[in-house]
Chains A and B, each alone.
Chain A
Amino acid sequence: MILENFFILTLIKVAVVAFVLLTTLAYLQWIERKVIAHVQLRVGPYRVGPHGLLQPLADVVKLITKEGLMPSHVNRLFYLLAPFVAVALALTSIAVIPFGPEITIGPVKTWMQLTDLRIGILFVLAVSSIGVYGVALGGWASNNKYALLGGLRSSAQMISYELPLGLAVAAPLLLANTLSFRDMVNYQTGYWLGFIPRWNLFPEIFGFIVFVIAGFAETNRVPFDLPEAENELVAGFHTEYSSMTFAAFFMAEYANMVTVTAVATLLFLGGWTPPFPAPYSDFIPILVFAIGGFTALYHGLNPARRKDKFTLPAAALVFLGLAAIFGVSIVVPALAVLKTILMALFWFCGKVLLLLFVFIWVRATLPRFRYDQLMRFAWTGLFPIAVINLLVTGLIVALATK
């Protein structure tokens, strides 16, 4: 069979992952605008499509058709190289992220992952550390003082926060004794006392908190978005970028967010393993989608706005359909593969979306740090906590394996 060819199988997987990732990046921005709007008691995008659902499409069309301006006296090569470097490296990390366990469809056996490196976690760290150049070069090549300051701030910030990030990552590595994401999730499979998941979150709660905070800084998100502080630097490193070059920086930021949350999920939240033992956790997706569907149906039958009569029942249909698919995959034994895929995707995507929601929530809630506060926080706050956490973890692991 043609699918047994490693090359073709990988090509198909790459196509699927790339399509899903790029769509997710576009809709992440819609989710972000909606969540922030609702936190601030606004409605957010509402005009293009039902509840602004086609807004990302409109944005993409707008960005493509806009004129790409080139500021005067810039180094053309570096100016155009910077957004390319940023987005290419941001999208590379996804290659080593596993979404689920090994599956067997007929004669084909494959992992729900593009490639498994023995040094997968180091690979992600390496790619993210190279990613600084996109921002730094973009700021420098723009021939603009605001952009240069943004680029400088960003490189200083990313170097500083890489230390606590790396130390926070090292602690779960000590526990699991591996650098591969696959083995990391395998280590976290199972339950203590039959019901507490063996996730690294519980022994490494400080590491998790440090990792998430440093992740905010690494992705240049609020409250650490000093590189693009609007009131000080116009738009920071991408002030002079327009059209698709701007879109590339924008995409890189969201892709980095997805990577950080996916790595946090794999290292601390057990990847695709469910939070409850198997027979109980199987019903949760059905329950979630059914509740969502019936709520939408109820509001569709009692519409608050005229449009809701059509949009909410359609949403309800989608949710109930998903619930039905999950239900069928559990009940019919022949569809065991489908069940494995769906369950893994549900829990993995659920955890990633939860963390992404936290990122957006924080952006809607917290003000920005001052620059000296940002540096002091990294070096005198996060760094010592990460070091002590690593030392204690190392001591416990050494005593346990003695």
Chain B
Amino acid sequence: MTALIFIIFAGIAVFCGINLVVQTHPIASALSLIGVMGSLAVLYLQLGGEFIAAAQVIVYAGAIMVLFVFVIMLLNAGAEAATFQVSRFVKYLGAVLLAAFLGLISLIIQATLPKSEGVTFGAFQGTTVDVGRKLFTTYLLPFEVTSVLILIAIVGAIVLARKEI
């Protein structure tokens, strides 16, 4: 059951990821990205990281991607026109080279990674309480630095967007 759910959602994630690059229309690409994020959230859920899964959906799929879609709709961007000719070399050798590359990568991963049952968080359970406690005790400094970074980004965006300073 677990393996089945993993295969289904990993498949959806990979399909949406490929679709994101293949699609010519920006909205279709953005929606594929939402699909990737949604299926990643399901995978987090499978690992027991329920808070991370919810945060993934709320923050990435629900807030950041809405802004992406918003901007695409606001600019009314149309479908991308093909501006380059595909060379004969790419057309015939591309698939073979891609397969060789993927095979090499998988070979390296097989060789270097230890054989284990699967990813585990160990003692860390990934519940909301655990995440919150870690974030506000052990990793307080990175957390604060990140929030200051985001604040700087917001101020920078406002400065750039203002007509006169």
Contacts and interface: CB of A to CB of B under 8 A. Distances in A.
Interface of A: 75, 78, 117-119, 122-123, 125-126, 129-130, 132-133, 136-137, 139-140, 148, 151-152, 155-156, 158-159, 162, 179
Contacts of B76: 148
B63 A123 contact: no
A162 B63 contact: yes
Contacts of B66: 129, 132-133, 136, 155, 158-159
B61 interface: yes
Interface in B55-77: 55, 57-58, 61-63, 66-67, 69-70, 73-74, 76
Contact of B34 (A117, A133, A155): A133
Contact of B54 (A123, A152, A159, A162): A123
B27 interface: yes
A298 to B, nearest CB: 52
Contacts of A162: 62-63
Interface residues of B, number: 22
Contact of A130 (B25, B57, B127, B128): B57
A117 to B, nearest CB: 8
B6 interface: no
Pick from A118, A129, A136, A156 the residue with the most CB of B within 10 Å. A129
A140 B73 contact: yes
Contacts of B50: 117-119
Nearest to B59: A129
Interface in B91-140: 127-128
Contacts of B128: 118-119, 122, 179
14 contacts: A118-B50, A118-B128, A119-B54, A122-B55, A126-B62, A129-B58, A129-B66, A133-B34, A136-B66, A136-B73, A139-B73, A148-B73, A148-B76, A155-B69
A152 B34 contact: no
B61 A130 contact: yes
B51 interface: yes
A133 B73 CA distance: 12
Contacts of B63: 129, 159, 162
Contact of B70 (A78, A125, A130, A136): A136
A110 B61 CA distance: 34
B67 to A, nearest CB: 7
Given A133-B34, A151-B73, A126 B27 contact: no
| Majority SS at the chain A contact face | helix
B70 A122 contact: no
Nearest to A120: B54
Pick from B31, B67, B127 the residue with the most CB of A within 10 Å. B31
Nearest to B72: A140
Interface string B24-62: 010100010010000000000000001100110110011
A97 to B, nearest CB: 16
A126 B54 contact: yes
Given A119-B51, A155-B66, A162-B63, A125 B58 contact: yes
Contacts of B34: 133
Contacts of A139: 73
Nearest to B38: A130
Given A78-B27, A132-B66, A159-B66, A152 B58 contact: no
B58 to A, nearest CB: 5
B58 A126 contact: yes
Contact of B62 (A119, A132, A137, A156): A132
A174 to B, nearest CB: 11
A158 B128 CA distance: 25
A334 B82 CA distance: 76
A152 B74 contact: yes
Nearest to B51: A119
A21 to B, nearest CB: 23
A120 to B, nearest CB: 10
Nearest to A121: B54
B67 A159 contact: yes
Nearest to B73: A140
A126 B34 CA distance: 13
